[in-house]
Amino acid sequence: MGRRFHLRTFGCQMNQHDAQKISNLLLHEGFSATEELESADLVLIHTCSVRAKAEQKLYSELGALSALKQRRAGLIIGVGGCVAQQEGDRLLARFPHLDFVFGPQNIVHLPKMIGVADVQRSLRVDYSEDPQERFELPERHPEYTSPTPGRAFVTVMEGCDLFCSFCVVPRTRGREVSRPSASILGEVRALAERGVIEVTLLGQTVNAYGRPRPGRVAGEVAFAELIRAVAAVPGIQRVRFTSPHPIFVGDDLIACYADVPELCPHLHLPVQSGSSRVLSAMRRRYDRDDYLKRVERLRRARADLALTTDVIVGFPGETREDFEQTLSLVRELAFVDSFSFKYSPRPGTPAVRAGLEPIDPAEAQSRLEELQALQRSLTLAAHERRVGSSVRVLVEGASRHGAGQRCGRCPYNRIVNFSSREPVPAGTLVDVDIHGATPHSLLGEVPVKRTNLELPCI
């Protein structure tokens, strides 16, 4: 029997996508996937370091793996992702049963690392010198099963040059590197030929893609041009992207919302705070007014745009008045949803290096709860406004609601739970009549197709 790998991952969408790349790469290397830890020959944990909680989870999982390593001769254990990049040798010293660590740029070198670990315990791996090498990954293996049928993530750029004061990404993922558009389009075409109809373009500051930089590689185009080219690939019916930065939302990108029908009417645009004073301390490079104006222009281009965001509460120095401004901005823009977190000091970030002190934890917790309560009411209101309409849903599979229901996502990126008399396979599009709403999803059903026999008598 061939060798088996067990992969655990936590963190952002980029990390989840990296985990998919790892699985695919290992299939090409002759491994097969296993859900059972005990039967694995290779255990990989792929992690995030944006918040302290994910890092703590990694340490507890690694501690628990020590006993397994003693029982299973030849077991290889590796850790990848941002924590591995940041902690590197410290991780290896703290967990002697760990064989290797590798940062996100080194996924492409995984086969080499496993080869080394087979004969000796390797140290921190940092092979990549050519920043473009990270994109040279194989196409989908025939045995690769996508967790999201009909839908795929495509990395278009990595890294970030902006150095927001709370963020570790520029340290862990490195500086901005864009991938040549020909390589991106080649991947999208191959995916479309395999039945993918929706692609999400991925990057830490995805809409910085292709901006003029020193060392810009041949074949990069502006981000708006890339969207248009991806949308024009035969078979692609939906295009999304994440995560953009507000300062790169310019006229050309806004125009795409007006005239690229494949570009979904949803934008996740992280705001982080509604207070210009806090935004400046966060080094976000825009203020409240600037953010509001960009949203106004976006909504002029696409009136039904569903806007979601990220918010950090309790950033050092955030006063009650600053927080009130966040609440008022969230109310004014009526975000359909948001991810909100308490500020989490991360080692090596500008905020920590400058010695900025977090605010009182109890106060931060109470602000978070207040914001989340407001968001729940806005989300429910947004969902209720959809009741009575019909939305096209990309089917993901069985709904958690049970009772034979299905679920999927509408163009506004909301989860739709629905019933259907006809089979609706995962990865296909279906129109759903919305008849109900909860704070978490839309509820509906696929209308029954009328045949001549069902026409009412007159």
Identified binder of ligand SF4 from the candidate list 53, 123, 163, 347, rule CB under 6 A:
163
Q: How far is the CB of 159 from ligand SF4 (least distance, A)?
A: 8
Interacting residues of 408 by C-beta distance below 8 A, sequence separation 6+ = 393, 394, 395, 396, 415, 416, 418, 430
Identified binder of ligand SF4 from the candidate list 110, 167, 239, 371, rule CB under 6 A:
167
In the bound state with ligand SF4, the residue whose beta carbon lies nearer, of 168 and 298, is: 168
Token pair 């109890």 is found at: 362
Q: State how far the Cα of 336 lies from the Cα of 330, in Å rounded to an integer.
A: 10
Distances from the Cα of 258 to the Cα of 83, 97, 264, 411, angstroms: 40, 55, 11, 15
In the bound state with ligand SF4, the residue whose beta carbon lies nearer, of 12 and 239, is: 12
Distances from the Cα of 25 to the Cα of 38, 87, 184, 306, angstroms: 22, 24, 18, 35
Q: State how far the Cα of 241 lies from the Cα of 244, in Å rounded to an integer.
A: 7
Give the interface segment with ligand SF4, choosing from 161-169, 188-196, 318-326, 388-396 (CB under 6 A): 161-169
Q: Could you give the strand order of the β-sheet that contains 151-155, starting from the edge strand earlier in sequence?
A: 151-155, 198-202, 238-242
Q: How far is the CB of 307 from ligand SF4 (least distance, A)?
A: 18
Token pair 């064989």 is found at: 99
Q: How far is the CB of 246 from ligand SF4 (least distance, A)?
A: 9
**With the C-alpha atoms ordered 376, 379, 381, 384, is the resulting torsion angle positive or negative?**
negative
Residue 236 and residue 230 in contact, taking contact as beta carbons nearer than 8 Å: yes
Q: State how far the Cα of 395 lies from the Cα of 399, in Å rounded to an integer.
A: 10
160 binds ligand SF4 (CB under 6 A): yes
In the bound state with ligand SF4, the residue whose beta carbon lies nearer, of 59 and 248, is: 248
Residue 24 and residue 137 in contact, taking contact as beta carbons nearer than 8 Å: yes
State which of positions 219-258 bind ligand SF4 (CB under 6 A): 245
- DSSP bridge pairs for 153: 200
Distances from the Cα of 408 to the Cα of 171, 204, 400, 418, 440, angstroms: 36, 25, 11, 9, 13
Nearest to 201 by CA among 259, 145, 260: 260
State which of positions 295-314 bind ligand SF4 (CB under 6 A): none
346 binds ligand SF4 (CB under 6 A): no
Give the interface segment with ligand SF4, choosing from 17-25, 162-170, 314-322, 429-437 (CB under 6 A): 162-170
Q: How far is the CB of 359 from ligand SF4 (least distance, A)?
A: 20
Q: How far is the CB of 245 from ligand SF4 (least distance, A)?
A: 5
- DSSP bridge pairs for 311: 272, 340
Give the interface segment with ligand SF4, choosing from 58-66, 165-173, 318-326, 366-374 (CB under 6 A): 165-173
Identified binder of ligand SF4 from the candidate list 11, 103, 170, 274, rule CB under 6 A:
170
Identified binder of ligand SF4 from the candidate list 169, 378, 410, 416, rule CB under 6 A:
169
Contact mark string toward ligand SF4, 107..146, x via CB under 6 A? ----------------------------------------
Q: How far is the CB of 271 from ligand SF4 (least distance, A)?
A: 11
164 binds ligand SF4 (CB under 6 A): yes
In the bound state with ligand SF4, the residue whose beta carbon lies nearer, of 272 and 417, is: 272
What is the contact surface with ligand SF4 in residues (CB under 6 A)?
160, 162-164, 167, 169-170, 204-205, 245
